[in-house]
Amino acid sequence: MNKLFGLIIAAVIIFVTVKIFFRSSAFKGKIGEHKVYRALKRCRIEGDKIINDITLVNPENGMTSQIDHILVSTRGIFAIETKNYSGRIIGSDKDETWTQILAGGNVVNEFRSPVKQNNTHVYVLKKVLESDAFISGIVVFAQGNIGQISGSCVCSPKGLKNKISCAKATELSPEQRDEYFNLLSKLKEHSVSKRRHIKNIRRQQKRLRRGVCPRCNGKLVLRTGRYGEFYGCSNFPKCHFTKDL
């Protein structure tokens, strides 16, 4: 009887754990990444190479950037950020915070602009590759209604092919493409652990609160732009990092 009771308890624990896992944002994130990876594979031309889930260290300040996919092509280098949010998404290139609307407007969530997040990835990628090439950043929403996003580099998996073909990225020779790919593959082998990356994110948030640019260690200074006041990096135009007041 006791044995049976133990078995039932174990089955319940396994069931609950599996249910929690499938509902977790980490699992949903992985599903989204896989969907975008499949779309990205369909966009390849001969010789194109893809690197998935790589964490790079910014040589300027030791901070880490996790990039979902990098396409290395003779058409250029593309850093691709995947988002797997459902519902209606509202945001633009200049907004610091984007909005997710669910359940007919009853649930509203805010999140950091994936375009700005990806701009940091592109910055770090350029530093790591020591490249003057223009690297293109693309944000792909694996699901959700993105009709209300006014972002020049945002698309659905279906729109990815078109975004890649009309993005402005510096073209590479086949030799340069292979060189960059080999370098990134080597870096991926020594990729930073998830734990260190999370620790770094916390450090980055602390620096931001102290008025230090998380991209290049510059000072954040108050500036006035077309859309009002904001914090910008003192190393502008070398660094384009901005933060809302």
Q: Write out the residues near Zn ion by the rule CB under 5 A.
A: 213, 215-216, 218, 233, 235, 239, 241
The CB-of-135 to Zn ion minimum distance in angstroms stands at 17
Q: What's the distance, CA 116 to chain centroid?
A: 9
The CB-of-82 to Zn ion minimum distance in angstroms stands at 25
| CB of 49 or CB of 243, closer to Zn ion | 243
Residues in the chain, how many? Answer: 245
| CB of 75 or CB of 215, closer to Zn ion | 215
> Cα(224)–Cα(94) distance, rounded to whole angstroms?
14
| CB of 74 or CB of 217, closer to Zn ion | 217
Q: Look at strands 154-155 and 149-150 and give their pairing.
A: unpaired
| CB of 124 or CB of 142, closer to Zn ion | 124
Q: Give, as one character, the DSSP assignment of residue 132.
A: -
The CB-of-207 to Zn ion minimum distance in angstroms stands at 11
The CB-of-232 to Zn ion minimum distance in angstroms stands at 8
Encoded tokens for 115: 């375009």
The CB-of-229 to Zn ion minimum distance in angstroms stands at 18
The CB-of-47 to Zn ion minimum distance in angstroms stands at 34
Q: Give, as one character, the DSSP assignment of residue 212.
A: B
| CB of 47 or CB of 59, closer to Zn ion | 59
Beta pairing partners, 70: 51, 79
E-strand ranges in the chain read: 49-57, 64-73, 76-83, 88-92, 97-102, 107-112, 136-141, 149-150, 154-155, 220-225, 228-233, 242-244
- Is the C-alpha dihedral spanning 212, 139, 79, 186 positive or negative? positive
| CB of 123 or CB of 181, closer to Zn ion | 123
**Longest Cα–Cα distance in the chain:** 74
**Cβ 129 vs Cβ 186: under 8 Å:** no
